[in-house]
Structure 1
Amino acid sequence: MRWNWQQGDWPDFRWHTEVMAQAEQDFLRGAGVLVGSAKHLNDDARQQVMVESMSAEALTTSEIEGEILNRANVQSSIQRQLGLISDRRRVKPAEQGISELMVDLYRGIDGLLTEDQLFAWHRMVGAGRTDLRDIGCYRTSVEPMQVISGASYSPKVHFEAPPSSQVLKEMKRFIGWFNRTAPEGGSRLPALTRAGVAHLYFESIHPFEDGNGRIGRAIAEKALIQGFGQPIIVALARSILAHHSDYYRALEQANGSNEVTKWLRWFGAIALEAQRRTIADIDFVIHKAKLLDSVRGRINPRQQKVLLRMLQEGPEGFVGGMSAKKYSTIAGTPPATTTRDLAGLVETGAFIRSGELKHTRYALNIPVTKIPRVTIDGTGEIISSS
């Protein structure tokens, strides 16, 4: 099989602009809603949204690569870098590194993409690694850079990137393209199209020994943020994680041709889902503040602990709802106290009760913002994105 970079039209990606037209309009409309929602936040709430958004993206972009990080440690690291109050806890190098990448991405949305920035990002995602030879520079191995699966005696090659000797030339061309297609560049592209092509283009080169997925998603995030000119992290990695296997299948299918309409259609739908997640995050913060204000001074410390624990789960809620058993575990209360505390939370309007007896569950009394999900069939085709 000839990969996309081995073909005569590389890297002149082609696509049908009319296929992306509606998605681009929806993205711009959503960007307006997102910016408008953010204006209703005070400074503290705005900082909270930013910290939680960056933390969630740091965790999920790492989880896509099979690395599970500690949420509290990542949040602490991000807060410290932003100059906010932090518990100063010790964090692992991987948690510190991905947190630094997110903060650098947020702070530098208006800047050009540079080789130095990419090398810095690679040092961040490679923090603490002792198994990599090339950290903070492009790969140099003479061995083929392949994405493979299956047994060692019969591997399946999903993709093979250009040899290391070509990476410097390819990356100079990629960086030039990315900056020319920016909103202020001479060859401006619409936000979703630019982000989708940028991600595929970068992943096709696969310039680093490891960490290409995390850096490639950061590049796509940068393109999306630049598309609406506001420093708000879009929940791209969270939506990709929700469609994890489809993501890799879509990338693999796109690596065989430089006609990328199908890939862009897939990426655009995922990015729109991500944008709607971010809007839901902001709506949740607004309703969360109202709920906490309404119960201030009316609940005891046990109830407050459980309420805050539920609120940590964000707009998608506490899996399975709150039960008496879960409450007792979190608050450390006996059955009688648990029953009184839960009844009190319903009475104050913090919780909504449903079900009876063993099936009784409690949910936060907060409007739920529905996040339209992308539905994808077994071949990777999008069935619905609403």
Structure 2
Amino acid sequence: MRWNWQLPDWPNFGFDPSRLRVAEERFLKGSGVVVGTMHHLDEHARQGIVIELISREMVESSAIEGELLDRASVQSSIARQLGLIADKRRSNPAEAGAAELMADLYRRYAVPLSDELLFDWHRMLMNGRRDLADIGAYRTHADPMQIVSGALHAPRVHFEAPPSDSVPLEMARFVAWFNDSSPKGDAPFPAITRAAIAHLWFETIHPFEDGNGRLGRAIAEKALAQSLEAPTLTALAATIHRRRKAYYAELQRASQSNRIDAWMTWFADIVLEAQASTIESIGFLIEKTRLLDRLKDRINPRQEKALIRMMAEGPNGFAGGLSARNYRTITDAASATATRDLAELVELGALERIGERRYARYHLKIPAAANSIIVPGAKA
């Protein structure tokens, strides 16, 4: 099989721009909602949302590659990287490196792409690794860079990247295009279009010995943020993680031709889904803060601990709801105390109970995210 980079038209990707026009318009409109809402929040609330979104993106991006990071440790590391107050939680090298990368992406989204920036990101991401020959540098090994699955004696090759000795030239061409296609470049591209091409192109070159998936998704996020001229994240990794099987299938299909309409359409759908998820998350985080502020001095430490634990699971709380038994596990409360605490939280409007007695389950009673989002230009 000949891969896309082996074809005569590489890297002149062909697609129909008109198929992305509606998606581009929807993305810009949604981005205005996100940026406008963040501007209307106070500094403390904005910092909390930024830390939550950045940490989730890195945790999910690592999970796509099979690496599990502790969310709380990543959050603490990100807070330190951004110069915010953080607890003294210790992070392992992978968590600290991931946090450093995401904080740098957020802070320096507008900086042009370069080999040096990518090398810095790679060193951050590979923090603590001792098994790689090339860290903070493009790969140099002579063996083919392949994506394979199956048994060692009969591997299935899903993709083979360009040989290592051609990577510097390939990356020079990619970096030049990325900067030229930026909003301030000589040939600017629309947001989603640029991010989709950038991610596919970078993944095709696969320039590093490891970490290409996470760096490629960071580049896509950088492309989207530059198009918005705002330090923001679109929750791409979290959405791709939910569509992981389709993601790899679409990448493999796109690696066989430089006519990439199917990839562009699929990626555009993912970006819009990711943006909707980001808007929902921001709304939930705003309402979460409002609820805890309203309940301040009205609930005991056990109740606060249980609510925070539920909120850590996201807008839907625990799958299936919180049971009295779960509450006792979280708080170490006695059975009668747990029953009384839960009844009070229902009465205060923090929880909603479904079912009776031992079948009772409790769900967070938080308004829909749309009620919390401020649409720029709209009247309060």
Aligned with 1:168: secondary structure? helix
1:363 match: 363
2:36 match: 36
Within-5 A mapping of 1:250-261 = 250-261=250-261
The separation in 2 between residues aligned to 1:65 and 1:45, in whole angstroms, is 31
Identical positions, percent? 55
CA displacement at 1:316 relative to structure 2: 4.0
Indicate if the aligned counterparts of 2:12 and 2:258 stay in contact, CA closer than 8 A.
yes
Question: How big is each residue's C-alpha offset from its partner over 1:193-252, in whole Å with a ceiling of 9 and x where there is no partner?
Answer: 100000000000000011100100000010111121111221110000000111111100
1:162 match: 162
The separation in 2 between residues aligned to 1:50 and 1:79, in whole angstroms, is 9
Aligned with 2:139: secondary structure? coil
The question of 1:229 aligning with 2:197 is answered: no
2:77 match: 77
Aligned with 1:227: secondary structure? helix
The separation in 2 between residues aligned to 1:185 and 1:66, in whole angstroms, is 36
2:106 match: 106
The separation in 2 between residues aligned to 1:250 and 1:358, in whole angstroms, is 46
Aligned with 1:39: secondary structure? helix
CA displacement at 1:72 relative to structure 2: 1.4
Q: Which amino acid aligns with 2:359?
A: H
The separation in 2 between residues aligned to 1:320 and 1:233, in whole angstroms, is 30
CA displacement at 1:81 relative to structure 2: 1.1
CA displacement at 1:35 relative to structure 2: 1.5
Aligned with 1:325: secondary structure? helix
Indicate if the aligned counterparts of 2:55 and 2:75 stay in contact, CA closer than 8 A.
yes
Indicate if the aligned counterparts of 2:283 and 2:369 stay in contact, CA closer than 8 A.
yes
Within-5 A mapping of 1:317-356 = 317-356=317-356
TM-score by length of 1: 0.94
The separation in 1 between residues aligned to 2:317 and 2:34, in whole angstroms, is 21
The separation in 2 between residues aligned to 1:83 and 1:29, in whole angstroms, is 31
The separation in 2 between residues aligned to 1:5 and 1:273, in whole angstroms, is 29
The separation in 1 between residues aligned to 2:349 and 2:137, in whole angstroms, is 55
CA displacement at 1:39 relative to structure 2: 2.6
Q: Which runs of 5+ in 2 are unaligned?
A: 371-380
Q: Which amino acid aligns with 2:276?
A: R
Within-5 A mapping of 1:185-334 = 185-334=185-334
Q: Which amino acid aligns with 1:157?
A: V
Question: How big is each residue's C-alpha offset from its partner over 1:98-124, in whole Å with a ceiling of 9 and x where there is no partner?
Answer: 111000000111110011000011111
Aligned with 2:109: secondary structure? coil
The separation in 2 between residues aligned to 1:93 and 1:303, in whole angstroms, is 34
The separation in 1 between residues aligned to 2:316 and 2:204, in whole angstroms, is 34
Q: Which amino acid aligns with 1:250?
A: E
Within-5 A mapping of 1:51-70 = 51-70=51-70
Within-5 A mapping of 1:124-203 = 124-203=124-203
Indicate if the aligned counterparts of 2:316 and 2:364 stay in contact, CA closer than 8 A.
no
2:96 match: 96
The separation in 2 between residues aligned to 1:318 and 1:195, in whole angstroms, is 34
Indicate if the aligned counterparts of 1:37 and 1:283 stay in contact, CA closer than 8 A.
no
CA displacement at 1:312 relative to structure 2: 1.8
The separation in 2 between residues aligned to 1:36 and 1:107, in whole angstroms, is 18
Question: Which deviates more, 133-142 or 314-323?
Answer: 314-323
2:374 match: none
CA displacement at 1:128 relative to structure 2: 1.0
Q: Which amino acid aligns with 1:336?
A: A
The separation in 1 between residues aligned to 2:314 and 2:40, in whole angstroms, is 18
Indicate if the aligned counterparts of 1:80 and 1:88 stay in contact, CA closer than 8 A.
no
Q: Which runs of 5+ in 1 are unaligned?
A: 371-386
Q: Which amino acid aligns with 1:214?
A: R
1:373 match: none
Indicate if the aligned counterparts of 2:196 and 2:268 stay in contact, CA closer than 8 A.
yes
1:115 match: 115
The separation in 2 between residues aligned to 1:40 and 1:354, in whole angstroms, is 35
Q: Which amino acid aligns with 1:285?
A: L
Q: Which amino acid aligns with 1:2?
A: R
Question: How big is each residue's C-alpha offset from its partner over 1:349-376, in whole Å with a ceiling of 9 and x where there is no partner?
Answer: 1111112233211111102348xxxxxx
Indicate if the aligned counterparts of 1:3 and 1:160 stay in contact, CA closer than 8 A.
yes
TM-score by length of 2: 0.95
The separation in 1 between residues aligned to 2:129 and 2:322, in whole angstroms, is 40
The separation in 1 between residues aligned to 2:169 and 2:269, in whole angstroms, is 32
Q: Which amino acid aligns with 1:298?
A: R
Aligned with 1:184: secondary structure? coil
The separation in 1 between residues aligned to 2:358 and 2:232, in whole angstroms, is 42
The separation in 2 between residues aligned to 1:346 and 1:268, in whole angstroms, is 41
Cα RMSD after superposing both structures: 1.1
The separation in 2 between residues aligned to 1:128 and 1:181, in whole angstroms, is 34
Indicate if the aligned counterparts of 2:13 and 2:258 stay in contact, CA closer than 8 A.
yes
Question: How big is each residue's C-alpha offset from its partner over 1:1-28, in whole Å with a ceiling of 9 and x where there is no partner?
Answer: 1100000000011110111111111101
Aligned with 2:265: secondary structure? helix
The separation in 2 between residues aligned to 1:318 and 1:223, in whole angstroms, is 34
Indicate if the aligned counterparts of 1:97 and 1:125 stay in contact, CA closer than 8 A.
yes
Indicate if the aligned counterparts of 1:37 and 1:279 stay in contact, CA closer than 8 A.
no
